[in-house]
Amino acid sequence: MAWADSVSAAPKSALGKALHYLKEQWPYLLRYLEDGRLELSNNRAERGIKPFVIGRKNFLFANTPLGAQASAVIYSLIETAKETGLDPFRYLTWVLKTAPTLNRTVEGWAVPLLPANAPESCATT
């Protein structure tokens, strides 16, 4: 991106700030152009968290840091299940039945619980 370096603009000016921002973001812009699966905006992620943002005051036990963390974990599992084509109820039921049988002292113990490893019975029909 040599052309941005050759443009003369005062670093503190609006153009200078814009060029600095462009230079810093250039690798990410190229990555977007190289991989067609990437989206240009984060609108999809924003839509995914909107129900959580709207309802966070109504979540039970979210009045403490641990309660908020528990809510975030459960909500993340539900939204990830939806995004990967799983029925959230069946997936969470499977996770809650399977998790106690795993040895939590072994590194990577939670990997079998990831949505990618869920059985076909958790898929939406």
Backbone angles phi, psi at 86, to 5 degrees: -105, 150
Rounded mean pLDDT, 86-104: 93
Question: 123 pairs with which residues across the strands?
Answer: 86
Task: Give residue 11's pLDDT band: very low, low, confident or very high (50, 70, 90).
Answer: confident
Helix, coil or strand: residue 70: helix
Given a contact cutoff of 8 angstroms between Cβ atoms, the answer to whether 59 and 71 are in contact is yes
* Percent of the chain with pLDDT strictly greater than 90: 30
> 29 versus 107: which is more confidently predicted?
107
Q: How far is CA 116 from the centre of its chain?
A: 15
What pLDDT sits at residue 7? 65
Helix, coil or strand: residue 86: strand
* pLDDT tops 70 at residue 108: yes
pTM for this model (two decimals): 0.55
